[in-house]
Copies of this chain bind each other. A is one copy, B any other.
């Protein structure tokens, strides 16, 4: 038995998220199906974290235990030939037996794309959020600084999230403009349910003057979700990379 770590790219728009669900098309389901063909047995895959329906990944990571002698250098190609077009294994490598894609993680980076413009972009609608009015980037960059460091982010997660510890560390937030696109990159130790989408939504609401920085700070200090901004839609979100 050898533990293997996969780096996976997927287009989230055709999946009911990462996690296996009966009768639904999910990324985990498809990867496990391909692995079952390769290994001849059922094979459970553990990801760095779930992604929701519509959320994309450029570099999701997931581990599993390989019980057959497939050469590791060929594994990605073999899996890619079995997987549907909207999932791609970018890398496969051996890791230690006690490695865990979720629990061994040190850092994770999400990217969020917001298209700013009056013209509807039908052909890109699955891959970006859309805001019609210009956003004040300087204001967003300034406000973003409040999230850096370790905080209780209960005010910045979906109410469905039930965890024992709401504290997470944000290492960096970068906001940049590329043509009509504003790109948010959020790097942290880990994230609560919907946390990146609410963080970005709060910054967007500040950038379009729908919310004050003061209110966002209150949400952070008092864990009051109602003081933070909107939850952005899933289609603009990309799990960019993980670090172990």
Taking a contact as CB atoms under 8 Å apart, the answer to whether A85 and B11 are in contact is no
Q: Which of B85, B87, B122 contacts A86 (CB 8 A)?
A: B122
Taking a contact as CB atoms under 8 Å apart, the answer to whether A120 and B85 are in contact is yes
**Closest beta carbon of chain B to A18's beta carbon, Å:** 14
Check if A147 is an interface residue, CB within 8 A of chain B. no
Residues on the B chain within 8 Å of A80, using CB: 120
Check if A162 is an interface residue, CB within 8 A of chain B. no
Stretch of A44-52, A102-110, A123-131, A218-226 lying at the B interface: A123-131
Give the distance in Å from the alpha carbon of A119 to the alpha carbon of B88 in the complex: 8
Q: Which of B89, B123, B126 contacts A58 (CB 8 A)?
A: B123
Check if A205 is an interface residue, CB within 8 A of chain B. no
A98-142 interface bits toward B, Cβ cutoff 8 Å, 1 = contact, 0 = none: 000000000000000000000111110111001000000000000
Residues on the B chain within 8 Å of A10, using CB: 122-123
Within A1-21, which residues are at the interface with B (CB < 8 Å)?
9-11, 13
Residues on the B chain within 8 Å of A88, using CB: 119-122
Give the distance in Å from the alpha carbon of A80 to the alpha carbon of B119 in the complex: 10
- The closest CB in chain B to the CB of A58 belongs to B123
Check if A197 is an interface residue, CB within 8 A of chain B. no
Residues on the B chain within 8 Å of A56, using CB: 123
Give the distance in Å from the alpha carbon of A56 to the alpha carbon of B123 in the complex: 8
Give the distance in Å from the alpha carbon of A88 to the alpha carbon of B10 in the complex: 25
Taking a contact as CB atoms under 8 Å apart, the answer to whether B122 and A87 are in contact is yes
Give the distance in Å from the alpha carbon of A15 to the alpha carbon of B25 in the complex: 18
Residues on the B chain within 8 Å of A122, using CB: 9-11, 85-88
- The closest CB in chain B to the CB of A89 belongs to B120
**Closest beta carbon of chain B to A244's beta carbon, Å:** 22
Residues on the B chain within 8 Å of A9, using CB: 120-123
A-B contact pairs, 29 of them (CB 8 A): A9-B121, A9-B122, A9-B123, A10-B122, A11-B122, A11-B123, A11-B125, A11-B126, A13-B126, A56-B123, A58-B123, A80-B120, A85-B120, A85-B122, A85-B125, A85-B126, A85-B130, A86-B122, A86-B123, A86-B125, A86-B126, A87-B122, A88-B119, A88-B120, A88-B121, A88-B122, A90-B119, A123-B127, A126-B126
Which residues of A come within 8 Å of B, CB atoms? 9-11, 13, 56, 58, 80, 85-90, 119-123, 125-127, 130
